[in-house]
Amino acid sequence: MTLLALVGIGFVGTVLWFINTEATAVVYHVELGWNPVLIATVLSLSQNGMYVFLYHGGGRMVERWRWLGKRVERARVRYARMLEKAYLPSTFVAAIFGLPPVLAMVTLAQGFGYRRRQIFPLTLVGRFIRFFTLAMIGETLFLWWQSL
């Protein structure tokens, strides 16, 4: 696997759930021996590339792709009260833990009146933390799984 493959997985895996960027972070570190900082940097930058696309084209994509529209709407309804009060902290938490889905947070950001410069530093740092942690913990989990 190459750096270009990692970029592609990070970018496309943002919207296609079956291309798992989290598992990719673990595999690149455990199986291929890549540095977790490099992995986390590439995956977080790649995912943020897709987030920029979603931020600007999110409205059209939500209308065109029903599955995405349903996912965004579910997140909007489920987390509406929290999002109105704490959108930026919620976005940072979503970038690290995945709840609420960061995909929905980025797509809804303009509707809540947030600009790129407010959202993307949070998603970049949050995703870096997520992928770095997964790569590091993944090694321990992988070794534990092999010992069973």
Q: Against a cut of 0.95, is the pTM above it? A: no
pLDDT in the model for residue 85: 79
pLDDT band at 141 (very low <50, low <70, confident <90, very high): confident
pLDDT in the model for residue 52: 93
> Which of 52, 66, 37 is CA-nearest to residue 133?
37
pLDDT in the model for residue 40: 98
Res. 59: pLDDT tops 70: no
pLDDT band at 1 (very low <50, low <70, confident <90, very high): low
Res. 81: pLDDT tops 80: no
Contact 29, 136 (CB under 8 A): yes
Amino acid identity of residue 76, one-letter, is R
Contact 102, 126 (CB under 8 A): yes
> Which of 91, 11, 90, 93 is CA-nearest to residue 44?
11
Cα 127 from chain centre: 6
